[in-house]
Structure 1
């Protein structure tokens, strides 16, 4: 027998003997594992040579380690769909993943030195967790009320310490990879997909999809001269990383912000830890510091345009999920709200919704509380409505956030403000705030809501026949929603009953319906990113993609901006919803689907002229 049963007894005050059955390794096998365990731990680290080109489900990526095109998490139908897809159909998907995998990175040593100093000093700044645990309170009284308070404080302290321990381990993992790679000329990240087509590096720790720490530590291995436009985009990038209201300003105002803080930029670059530490006030401090260092080098040069830059410059979509819905619905008002139409400054959909929410709540607050019970809650909330209160709910609305989810999001924001301390009152305020926010969203994005409902209705029809929703993205990737009820296999032993689970044959109808609209939009944003990646490769640009954030060298931002707009127009010039409906009729010939929703007449070519579409 390779394994044997063991009996574990735990003693506690409430239950003196609690037995658990566990499986342990036989000593003979255990001794063999000691010699071979290093081969069992699959080290998906960055590669020092370019990854293998993708040519099939398990053909590509790492040279010798198991590599799979898609993270299917055991979904048999999704695996079969990918394996059976013709190579010609999948060619563009393979090319996009190869493009992302061929981008060469290196460690930014100056940032690494700063991080090591901060971490060695105990952390607790620039988003790094405190390396010290919080004090565990002691009990100083036998009074029942004091014991109750002590227990609550002790549980809270232990929870904080567990979270800090987890965060410290995560940072140590990231730094260990950075140390191993810091002397390398460059390295690569093989990429694969989730089932919706979104691309991710296969190495999980130090990669550009991760935190500000990781992004600050990474830069392109290939450097390119800043050129005529590079200094301009480097300053815009710095303003974007500083964040807050600065990112919502016009380009001219962002440039003015940086120009007004050049002394702080130079000080941050020269004395990051012993100077004024302006960079620590940024939303993304380590990335901001990296930009300060690069800009400082250019400003001190007699020829700024010739300075070599390794820094990736980001261009981010404006509430990208709603941008895709606006393109599908072709509604001019919705398109303007998410920057598909040119404006003097970026349209801010979060501020627009916040203003609408404030107007509704203000009107409710003026009503008679004896007639409208919402009036009392409205008076409490009317001065607390701001962009931050509604942002998360607006952002997740296109990804299927429910009323309960919106309520919890707004509740957390109200807790942060700290003006409502009574729990029952806080809950009532969150309920009312969620209802008003979702009503305001429905008013502004009626076409998007109509498409969302249509997608959900189609999924409901499919799931009612115990079928998963399946479709093919415009780039040829077959997608099957992996939401099936689990089958339980019971194994009875003398110690306990084990229940093993695997994917069953029955679909989770509700999950198939609610998840389809956000999954479909994710498959479209991944398509746009992959189309842009291939076009940037063909134009000689370095490219990295983080879903709706596209990166390239400062000197190439203008070209990338042109490409990503052209590809967005190309994508939505296709009859996407018509093709989807035809796909459904082909895949489910016996089912009847609702008619396509009405759409507007917005001219998609307006996107080509919109400076803040991605910015």
Structure 2
């Protein structure tokens, strides 16, 4: 069924590139191209889909081609409504995936400035001069248009020109004495994803600066394109990124840094108290914070 859906989406995408696509959306006959009608057209029955799925599952769960093990979710009673058969990679195959895992360049930061956006200019990753993808993300099946794209161009170009670098002080700490932080934190990442992130950070650790290309959605919300080492990602990835050209904080900056410090520690609900009490809490515990006191850090 996944293969069938892929074929359908390719058909739908080709249709969506048609200039009259939005107009056709209002035509009742156009819904011939709904997925349900597409399945009826191919005369595929549910039994056929299940049979195909069962074949591939058995193929990948037995003998030399096995890559999955099964386990049960919920009660072992098969009559229980919460009972589920679950699949997971075998330990052997998971090890192979780790060895052979390849990361797309377009999910990484750039070592040079991203290409500039403009009228008839495709920015971001350098390959986009050839691929020519727009600056918006999400579905292309819509009738929305930006009334002033120049503002979007200027915003993206400014953000894309900001240099970042790896926080090597934190990276070194996490790889050494601070390994407990990853184990004790609430990072919602699989062990392989954590290992991969640290490896990528190590790869970029000798680089003075790198850049993050951005995109926007139809509401003009900004998104970082790279999956790794960006300030919008999970707590591990975002913590390993800092500005390449830093500036000393003034009193106003320190004020909000203290508040943020109390928020992320959260001892006894300190992050919900008034600002003055949060600042007092940071001031009181400043020495422990600077010394990276282990007992203090994991105390919540």
Please list every run of at least 4 consecutive aligned residues from structure 1 whose deviation after the TM superposition is greater than 6 angstroms: 118-122
Distance 2:234 2:122 in 1: 30
Distance 1:253 1:260 in 2: 10
Is 1:255 equivalent to 2:289 in the alignment? no
Contact 1:58 1:68 in 2 (8 A): no
Contact 1:57 1:68 in 2 (8 A): no
- Total equivalences in the alignment: 202
Distance 2:56 2:290 in 1: 61
Distance 1:174 1:68 in 2: 28
Report the equivalent of 1:266: 290
Quick check: which has more Rg, 1 or 2?
Answer: 1
Is 1:76 equivalent to 2:135 in the alignment? no
Contact 2:117 2:153 in 1 (8 A): yes
Contact 1:54 1:98 in 2 (8 A): yes
Report the equivalent of 1:60: 123
Distance 1:224 1:110 in 2: 17
Is 1:186 equivalent to 2:209 in the alignment? yes
The superposition leaves residues 28-69 of structure 1 with CA deviations (integer Å, 9 ceiling, x where unpaired) of xxxxxxxxxxx9955332112222222258711112244530
Distance 2:229 2:210 in 1: 12
Report the equivalent of 1:19: 55
Report the equivalent of 1:124: 183
The superposition leaves residues 63-115 of structure 1 with CA deviations (integer Å, 9 ceiling, x where unpaired) of 22445301133x3335xx44xx56xx211122222222222211111111122
Distance 2:154 2:176 in 1: 41
Tell me: CA distance 1:19–1:179, structure 2 relative to 1, closer, same or farther (3 Å).
Answer: same
Task: Give 3-state SS (helix, strand or coil) of 1:52's partner.
Answer: coil
Structure 1 position 277, deviation (Å) = 3.5
Task: Give 3-state SS (helix, strand or coil) of 1:63's partner.
Answer: coil
Which residues in structure 2 correspond to 1:90-169 (within 5 Å)? 90-117=149-176, 124-128=183-187, 167-169=190-192
Structure 1: give runs of 5+ residues left out of the alignment.
1-14, 22-38, 130-165, 269-274, 283-615
Give the structure, 1 or 2, with the largest relative contact order (CA under 8 Å, sep 6 or more).
Answer: 1
Structure 1 position 219, deviation (Å) = 1.1
Structure 2: give runs of 5+ residues left out of the alignment.
1-50, 58-101
Report the equivalent of 1:233: 256
Contact 2:173 2:179 in 1 (8 A): no
Distance 2:107 2:119 in 1: 19
Is 1:202 equivalent to 2:225 in the alignment? yes
Distance 2:120 2:227 in 1: 20
Tell me: CA distance 1:179–1:57, structure 2 relative to 1, closer, same or farther (3 Å).
Answer: farther
Distance 2:282 2:181 in 1: 31
Structure 1 position 220, deviation (Å) = 1.1
Structure 1 position 173, deviation (Å) = 2.8
Which residues in structure 2 correspond to 1:341-380 (within 5 Å)? none
Contact 1:192 1:202 in 2 (8 A): yes
1:43 to 98, 106, 111: 106
Distance 1:218 1:40 in 2: 19
Distance 1:184 1:64 in 2: 22
Report the equivalent of 1:217: 240
Distance 1:40 1:127 in 2: 25
Structure 1 position 190, deviation (Å) = 0.5
Tell me: CA distance 1:233–1:120, structure 2 relative to 1, closer, same or farther (3 Å).
Answer: closer
Distance 2:296 2:120 in 1: 48
Contact 2:187 2:235 in 1 (8 A): no
Say what the alpha-carbon RMSD is for the aligned residues: 3.4
Contact 1:173 1:205 in 2 (8 A): no
Structure 1 position 199, deviation (Å) = 1.2
